[in-house]
Structure 1
């Protein structure tokens, strides 16, 4: 492995992996460094949505909403296995946002982002709509609109996989220890060795200011760390629609079909204090349960929760009073040419805008790096496994089912949505040991060899979500197999 690169990226979340991919696709020699596992922080703890952010219109963030809406269909085209359209149902509630305001917001949502493939908003009668059946009596009119769902952790992994496929180097569990400018280069010290790079990108997410300290830079951007928590409960409804719900305190939350047998509910917005655990508090869990119980005929209680997860969003501190009002936009800061080897720092951002952020970041670096051979490219080249049409997932599943008649429909659906066309790379082998839940030895070996998985947690909660299905004994057996 060479120790000399054009660009070194610190942070294996969605922004860091996206920047590394964009740069590698332009011919740069790229190093991607992640202190833990890929997507082990914020990027695996989202609400799993590729969306414009309907509620951001209330805060007049029209540019952010337009950018996000434009990205929805671009991302769907390059990753039709891990991204798919989802129709949301937004019930009108008397006393909350008026009907005309909701309809106006959705009109803008339909028209400012260049929507081409996704269906438009329509008004529905909940008495006749499948989404009305699980709700309490009293909800009558709703608006049905389009957004997208994403397997967030796999989005990160597939970007990193593309970096490696294009000749880049990806090192996980390799924290930055120090970095300094020397002889026109960055000298980067890690437990895996010392590396040199012509440019350094700080995409460390919530740790962005910590990394600034390690490289001797004094940031002028204030950050606000906001925790978002989610709960997963047994399935509350058996239709394919998701819900966008309003609450009397002005906040909103989603209830989304999840992993076939579950419902995902979230999110909260709570300022994260230093030293506080990144985990759903009892208050957050109760808040989400109470919110869901306001709408669903079947009450949701903390005893129903089978899993929770939380992530810290690194938001730009724009002085907003409430955490949910803080901007989800981003800022890119590039050091001045006279300061030596360039440093690019990434502040803020959201998963939906990662590709455009990455493109913009590499565009900023391009004048300082002659090694970049081409311009923007990432809207046309699929992520690994996504080399099929946006409407081709069902055909892929049918082909895989015909080739592997021993697999049940649920497993075929899971692997097609996770790996796309690359599922054949391990399905066509002797699949070996069965760990339960449709997880076989060949898949585990593939995840270790090709996707940087090292622990049972990497496999069960980030590369797959089979942690919801394997029991304690099965999880222990997998951990033993992986040597941890």
Structure 2
């Protein structure tokens, strides 16, 4: 019996859990850890892999939400900035400050329009001048003044701005620079949160590729999407954290809801030395001509560009289409008019559906990016309440989980036992602060385990302090770089596959690493990755070929 079969058998044998969470995105996983802290046994289920939805297809920004101020969402921005600062500490191995520059093309633009947007009048946002930007960034600095983790903002007039970024559109009058943050390994942070939750409470279980088919006899009928077995699970509370699929998941529970009005956001990953050099180590945050805010920033040697904001009825059909690709590339011309992105420079495309609340608002940018909980009381044939999570974003997942737990705990007679506010996540535990401390950590680990400092540095960047778990393995000292992907080794891939609930090769290349994101999921690399993962998971040669083909399709390579 393999580990997955043993987990499913344990779930079936138990037959009941105080809380069942549907959806293994960041909101569901965040709640899983939150409840584990309070000693609540939870069952977390996802119909696909963990983080397979919008969680792995976001802009990778950990930010306060500067543009939300225009919609009057001051509370959301305050909360987001607090949570951003916590992640900079608790997940320092993956979350880092990001210098951000806003090109400004007028001094007083938006002085009439922005107040009308703020008042909720039917005006499209756009045309934000220096005064409006200054007000927003001043609010940013005021909110974080007591626990400052990033420098204050500053303005450069045209001349200084063009000296710093000479490829910028010379039509600017100024440029504002401030700091937010970004996350390198968003998907891996989800896996770490699951591991942390299980360590806090071994009575909790998380299973990917598992669906709730219906409610029968007051219990959830759970199907293992890998092995095909079913079992009955009686919950006291169900939390629907299925993101864009909330209404579909509710339908399986016998609830007819229309809570979600998703919009898709598409991004491009570009391999352009010219654009990379023009931006440097920063993000450029700018408006397209329709008023939509776009971003371009350097990421692990590539450039990420985005995004769109288009209504979508069925999240299963969401994909980055040719029109969105054209839109994103055109938007760049407004800020870097001398740089063109050629189709062959696009190495990856990704698209996620934001789980926004259903809204009749014509301008999607006006729909709140906040979060809320909708409760459905027990009903005939469903003897348990359902809490549906609406909205939310990466930055605020911990706060959303905390607020949800405070609503759920009284329903099961449990009490809060602590807080996750200052709780390190995974490899962020004991992560070295500053360059000198990091260099000492690398030198010590390299000497202790017989690996080169350069290799330990790579592992530390990928896994944080959990890298030492791998370094201590005998296999690590005998590792061999993959011929087609020498940044990874055979032993490293086997370690990930065996220990992180990998069911398909696409899980590994898309959600346990950034291989697909960086455009490295090529046929030759996938064949070699399938061989290494297959060795750990017992895949025979035909299965390895199938997994490589599946990963090629999912990664869009």
How high is the TM-score relative to the length of structure 2? Answer: 0.80
C-alpha contact (below 8 Å) 1:227/1:312 kept by paired residues? yes
| Larger helix fraction of residues | 2
User: For each residue in 1:273-326, what CA deviation from the matched residue of structure 2 results, as whole angstroms up to 9, or x when unmatched?
Assistant: 338732111010011111112222322233321111001111102321122222
Note closer, same or farther for the CA distance 1:276–1:365 as it changes in structure 2 (3 Å cut): closer
Matching residue within 422, 425, 428 for 1:386: 428
Residue 268, structure 1, aligned to residue 315, structure 2: no
- Which residue does the alignment assign to 1:99? 130
User: What does residue 477 of structure 1 align with?
Assistant: 528
Structure 1 equivalent of residue 263 of structure 2: 226
Alpha-carbon separation, structure 1, partners of 2:217 and 2:433 = 48
Q: 1:155 aligns with which of 189, 192, 204?
A: 189
Task: Report the equivalent of 1:211.
Answer: 249
Q: 1:175 aligns with which of 211, 234, 248?
A: 211
Mean CA deviation greater in 43-52 or 417-426: 417-426
Do the aligned partners of residues 218 and 274 (structure 1) sit closer, same or farther apart at CA in structure 2, a change above 3 Å counting? closer
Please tell me whether residue 416 in structure 1 is matched to residue 460 in structure 2: yes
Corresponding position of 1:120 = 152
Instruction: Classify 1:275/1:250 alpha carbon distance in 2 versus 1 (closer, same or farther; 3 Å).
Output: closer
Q: Which of 323, 348, 352 is equivalent to 2:364?
A: 323
1:5/1:30 contact within 8 Å kept: yes
Q: Which residue of 1 aligns with 2:511?
A: 462
Separation (CA, whole Å) in 2 of partners of 1:152 and 1:198: 31
Aligned length: 477
Name the SS of the counterpart of 2:195 in structure 1: helix
Q: Measure, in 2, the Cα distance between the counterparts of 1:278 and 1:434.
A: 36
- Mean Cα displacement is larger for which, 380-389 or 173-182? 173-182
**Separation (CA, whole Å) in 2 of partners of 1:30 and 1:138:** 56
CA contact (8 A) 2:195 2:426 kept: yes
Check the 8 A contact 1:16/1:32 in 2, yes or no. yes
Q: Decide which moves more: 296-305 or 306-315.
A: 296-305
- How much is the aligned-residue C-alpha RMSD, in angstroms? 2.4
After superposing on structure 2, the runs of 4+ consecutive aligned residues of structure 1 that deviate more than 6 Å are none
The CA deviation at 1:124 is 2.3
- Contact 2:243 2:355 (8 Å CA) reproduced: yes
Shift of 1:472: 2.2
Match of 2:94 in 1: 82
Distance 1:276 1:452, change over 3 A: closer
Mark the structure with the bigger radius of gyration: 2
SS of the equivalent of 1:466 reads: coil
Match of 2:294 in 1: 253
Correspondence 1:363 to 2:406: yes
Cα distance in structure 1, aligned partners of 2:254 and 2:436: 51
* Cα deviation digits, residues 44-67 of structure 1 (max 9, x gap): 000001111111111111121111
**Residues 224 and 271 in structure 1, CA contact (< 8 A), matched pair in contact too:** yes
Q: Which runs of 5+ in 1 are unaligned?
A: none
Please give the secondary structure, in 2, of the residue aligned with 1:201. Answer: strand
Which residue in 1 is equivalent to 2:347? 306
Pick closer, same or farther for the CA change 1:56–1:438 going to 2, 3 Å.
Answer: same
Contact 2:105/2:172 (CA < 8 Å) preserved in 1?
Answer: yes
- What is the CA deviation profile of residues 172-198 of structure 1, one whole-angstrom value per residue up to 9, with x for unaligned ones? 11122123573xxx4342234322322
Residue 246 of structure 1: how far off its partner (Å): 1.4
Q: Indicate the structure with greater strand content.
A: 1
| Residues in 2 aligned to 1:390 and 1:322: alpha-carbon distance in whole angstroms | 44
Secondary structure of 1:46's match? coil
Partner residue, 1:279 = 319
Q: Distance in 1 between matches of 2:298 and 2:217?
A: 49
**Unmatched segments (≥5 aa) in structure 2:** 1-9, 110-126, 535-543, 548-557
Matched with 2:489 is: 440
- The alpha carbon displacement at 1:397 in A equals 5.4
